Amino acid sequence: SWNSRRGPRGSFVPPIRSNGGSGTIISRVTGKSDYSMEDSTRKCIEMLCGLNGELPEKLRNLEPRLIEHVSNEIMDRDPNVRWNDIAGLEHAKKCVTEMVIWPLLRPDIFRGCRSPGRGLLLFGPPGTGKTMIGKAIAGEAKATFFYISASSLTSKWIGEGEKLVRALFGVANCRQPAVIFVDEIDSLLSQRKSDGEHESSRRLKTQFLIEMEGFDTGNEQILLIGATNRPQELDEAARRRLTKRLYIPLPSSEARAWIIRNLLEKDGLFMLSEEETSAICKLTEGYSGSDMKNLVKDASMGPLREALQSGVGITKLSKEDMRPVMLKDFENAMQEVRPSVSSSELGSYEEWNMQFGSLS
Ligand code: ADP
């Protein structure tokens, strides 16, 4: 019973590890009547209860602390990314708009023949905007965004991943429309059947596929987005459920120019000529979006370092003493910030895209 889990002052003690005791589980008790939960947990559970104060069926038999963790740490009420924040990727934006945003906005139209796939895979090199796209989808479709890194399920939630997955899908169910973004999905749905594959990670994978199956057939307004930079690791079952697979490549030269301008303009630091910008773009072939961001950061330190060389201390420095960011700052920064993706890796993405990607 709950009583056995009281702390010294009678407060609820979150169980470290389920011991199979029924005390760790909400059965049909709602937040209201359950006095043994911590306030924060109770509030969180209450928010998920229907008008009648009943806990939705999907959340029954789940541990309150896991529901609370999903609500506070995994659920993002304001993902705050819009299409306009994402450079390039026109193809992906167009596909995603038709495939997932419209169906989330107009479920009444997208049924029958038009009923959408519920699983989307974004693959490609790291730092190219996959997470941004996930957040933007949620923003544009006015959906609740859930972010989880699959590797945390196996590393941080050892032995509890299954329960957390159930809580995740359960809370998403109560928060429709919902977008569940699973980063590094390869680590969850990998095809490697090494001898060392733990029974627990196999169970986790099964649980995950079951949950996906559940909303794939129903009327739920839930979209699952998996992101990976190792698509080759996904097995057939995973590919089958992630029906749309979009390649998110490195930014084009125009997209790199856009990132430079956008970041510097935000701080009122953009003074580069068109020639200088295109010179930088030539030199940054192979840089990812996140490499570009790091490059701009480093380059923007150039004027500061130079101003300090005159001997004036950082506390006395006036902003007017700093010159604008110039081409040479970028050239210097390129010594520090190197592209993080190799061309051989790129080849393997393109190959996988030809074989399994959604090309149109
Ligand atoms: P991924 O999920 O593909 O590994 P992210 O979406 O997390 O990459 O991108 C990391 C950071 O790199 C972003 O926060 C953003 O600052 C920058 N970035 C990456 N791609 C783009 C892009 N296409 N447009 C604008 N910024 C980008």
Q: What's the pLDDT score for residue 282? A: 95
- Residue 122: pLDDT over 50: yes
Q: What is the pLDDT of residue 37?
A: 67
Q: Whose CA is nearest to atom 23 of ligand 1?
A: 87
**Whole-number Å distance between alpha carbons of 157 and 163:** 9
234 alpha carbon – ligand 1 mean position (Å): 23
When pLDDT is averaged across residues 338-354 and rounded to a whole number, the result is 93
Mean pLDDT of 59-86: 84
Helix (H, G, I), strand (E, B) or coil at 352: helix
Q: Work out the average pLDDT over 79-99.
A: 91
pTM for the whole structure: 0.84
Residue with the nearest Cα to atom 18 of ligand 1? 289
Would the pLDDT of 263 be above 90? yes
Predicted pLDDT at 21 = 37
Share of the chain above pLDDT 90, in %: 41
Q: Which residues contact 236 (CB under 8 A, 6 or more apart)?
A: 191
Check residues 202 and 236 and name the one with the higher pLDDT: 236
Q: Is residue 205 a contact partner of residue 104, using CB atoms and an 8 Å limit?
A: no
pLDDT of residue 202: 81
Which residue is closest in CA terms to ligand 1's atom 1?
Answer: 127
pLDDT over threshold 80, residue 106:
yes
Is 136 a pocket residue for ligand 1 (Cβ < 6 Å)? no
Radius of gyration of the CA atoms of the chain, in A: 24
Q: 127 in ligand 1 pocket by Cβ < 6 Å?
A: yes
- The reported pLDDT for the residue numbered 330 is 96
pLDDT at residue 321 in the model: 80
* CA 94 / ligand 1 centre spacing (Å): 18
Ligand 1 pocket check for 88: Cβ under 6 Å: yes
Distance CA 359, CA 355 (A): 10
- The residue with greater pLDDT, 141 or 156, is 141
Annotate 283-304 with three-state secondary structure: HCCCCCHHHHHHHHHHHCCHHH
Nearest residue to 280 (alpha-carbon basis) of 325, 333, 327:
327
